[in-house]
Amino acid sequence: MRGLATVVKNAGSHFELSELPEWNLFPAVLRGKIRLKGSAVTNPVAVGDRVVWEREGEASPENPAIITEILPRKNYVIRRSTNLSRQAHVIAANLDRAYIIVSLYFPEVKLPFLDRILVTCEVYGIPATVVLAKTDLYRAEAQEQIDAFRQIYEGAGYPVIETSVKTGEGINTIREACKDRINLFSGESGVGKSSLIKALDPSLDPKIGQISVAHLQGKHTTSLYEMYPLAGGGYVIDSPGLRGFGLVDLEKEEIGKYFPEMLAVADNCRFVPCTHTHEPGCAVKAALDAGTISPERYASYLGMLEEDQKFR
């Protein structure tokens, strides 16, 4: 027996597949060593990958399908492993949109971290939305900060959706946007991704899934990535909370091209190429002085130029 399917769970060395749009899970393992060409990655197979599988007999935990081929990806999100500077990890593949979940507080948002994820989405052509979570916890005291945050990211071209699982704010907006799409939810640890997924579809409980996998395969718990079908339509991929996000395969002179607000004016720079740091006649620095490029985003850009495999 042979077929095509999508990877919907990655628990290290074990996977679950489904023949989307049907939701019919069955177990799978890798045959031999499959590598991504030209990239040293810790996981050659990612949630969202379309794969070729083979199996003799009926599916069961004792008789898993064998993944024999990974089909070409239309896109993917990848980050450099913070503890292995030469290796990288593919978070998810074949996405229609990425939702980057942040909170101004609880935990406090780190703009350089957010900007690294957004740059990676730009590199691989993945539309991104910024989700501002837990607004019920700080709106009364921090409306000015919320407005300033929205100005930074909407000014850069990204939709910003304010959400609260407690009050239901923004939940329907995200639920509608996720319909008929494969969506990645990503962000720092503790930011509330799992609670947001459960608010989108109360029948889901991502935390229970993590506990069950921890019981079965404890050493793989930190690398658990899983796709869930939403009752309202579409799919959401939950990823472990991230503590760092290093850029992969990106030359320093290319970084500015993946800040949309900088790309929009860079053709007007006097010199090409321009690093947008010290050159006279730099249109990006002129836009910064004029207030059309935020100093926070520009600071993130400078940090990416200087980081040299060091991560925040």
Please give the residue that has the higher pLDDT: either 84 or 234: 234
Q: How many helices (H) and strands (E) does the chain have?
A: 8, 13
Asked if 123 and 256 sit in the same domain, the reply is: no
Asked if 120 and 190 sit in the same domain, the reply is: yes
Asked if 147 and 215 sit in the same domain, the reply is: yes
Neighbours of 113 (CB within 10 A): 20
Domain of residue 34, CATH code: 2.40.50.140
Determine if the peptide bond prior to 107 is cis (ω within 30°).
yes
**Which contiguous run of DSSP H or E holds residue 16?**
strand 15-18
Alpha carbon 281 to its chain centroid, in Å, reads 35
Which residues form the domain of 301?
252-306
Coil, helix or strand at residue 194: helix
Q: What is the pLDDT confidence band of residue 81, given thresholds at 50, 70 and 90?
A: low
Q: Which of 84-88, 167-171, 287-291 has the lowest mean pLDDT?
A: 84-88
Structure tokens belonging to residue 230? 């939403």
Q: Which of 22-31, 204-213, 281-290 has the lowest mean pLDDT?
A: 204-213
Region for residue 79 given its phi and psi (left: phi exceeds 0; alpha: psi -120 to 50; beta: otherwise): beta
pLDDT exceeds cutoff 50 at 159? yes
d(Cα 291, Cα 287) in Å, to the nearest integer?
Answer: 6
What contacts 24+ positions apart, CB below 8 Å, involve 250-256? Answer: 250/119, 250/123, 252/304, 252/305, 255/119, 255/301, 255/304, 255/305, 256/284, 256/301
d(Cα 27, Cα 245) in Å, to the nearest integer?
Answer: 30
Q: What is the mean pLDDT of the chain?
A: 87
Q: What is the pLDDT confidence band of residue 39, given thresholds at 50, 70 and 90?
A: low
pTM of the model: 0.88
Asked if 98 and 196 sit in the same domain, the reply is: yes
Asked if 160 and 190 sit in the same domain, the reply is: yes
Determine, yes or no, domain membership for 245.
no
Q: Which of 42, 70, 98 is the last residue of a domain?
A: 70
Determine, yes or no, domain membership for 312.
no
Phi, psi (rounded to 5 degrees) for 214: -60, -35
The identity of residue 284, as a single letter, is V
Determine, yes or no, domain membership for 33.
yes
Closest alpha carbon to 158 in 132, 185, 135: 132
Asked if 143 and 29 sit in the same domain, the reply is: no
Q: Which of 51, 70, 89 is the last residue of a domain?
A: 70
Asked if 229 and 91 sit in the same domain, the reply is: yes
Structure tokens belonging to residue 251? 């030359």
Domain of residue 301, CATH code: 1.10.40.50
Asked if 150 and 282 sit in the same domain, the reply is: no
Asked if 40 and 165 sit in the same domain, the reply is: no
d(Cα 190, Cα 249) in Å, to the nearest integer?
Answer: 28
- Residue 161 near residue 132 (C-beta atoms within 8 A): yes
- Residue 87 near residue 266 (C-beta atoms within 8 A): no
Determine, yes or no, domain membership for 62.
yes
Asked if 45 and 174 sit in the same domain, the reply is: no
Determine, yes or no, domain membership for 25.
yes
Average pLDDT over residues 42-49: 89
Domain of residue 217, CATH code: 3.40.50.300
Give the total number of structural domains in the chain.
3
pLDDT exceeds cutoff 60 at 307? yes
Asked if 191 and 272 sit in the same domain, the reply is: no
Structure tokens belonging to residue 301? 């850009």
Asked if 145 and 40 sit in the same domain, the reply is: no
d(Cα 170, Cα 192) in Å, to the nearest integer?
Answer: 14
List all residues 6 or more positions away from 290 whose beta carbon is below 8 Å from its beta carbon.
none
Determine, yes or no, domain membership for 244.
no
Q: Which of 216, 238, 260 is the last residue of a domain?
A: 238
